Amino acid sequence: MRALLLTSLLLTACAHSAHRGLPPPTGKPGAADTVDVPMADGVALRARVLLPKGPGPHAAVLTRVPYPMRGFLDRRCRVFNEYGYACVHQTVRGRGR
């Protein structure tokens, strides 16, 4: 878990400096989709899923935030996609739709 968080922070920081210090990206961002994910108590949480191009399966980075899912978060997801990771942003309870 700690390694995933550190990787997330590293890739986010590098996204604004042209991936400085990282190996060249191995792929390209792919399709994005918004889905409702049902929880055990019946509440559906909205999630935005961005997949890298190419065949899966892909390891995924999950972010749960009370903020809008587009803009900065989509740009960060595209960096993860370029390195072969799927990216999922899920809104927390009481936010979003």
Query: Mean pLDDT, consecutive 10-residue segments, the chain of 97 residues?
Result: 53 53 75 88 88 87 76 76 88 68
pLDDT of residue 55: 84
Non-local CB neighbours of 41 within 8 Å, separated by 6+ positions? none
Cα 17 from Cα 7, distance rounded (Å): 15
Q: Which two tokens stand for residue 20?
A: 């400085």
Report pTM. Answer: 0.65
70-79 residues labelled b (16+ CB within 10 A) or e (exposed): eeebbebbbb
pLDDT of residue 40: 93
pLDDT of residue 16: 47
Cα 70 from Cα 87, distance rounded (Å): 12
Q: Which two tokens stand for residue 10?
A: 């590293």
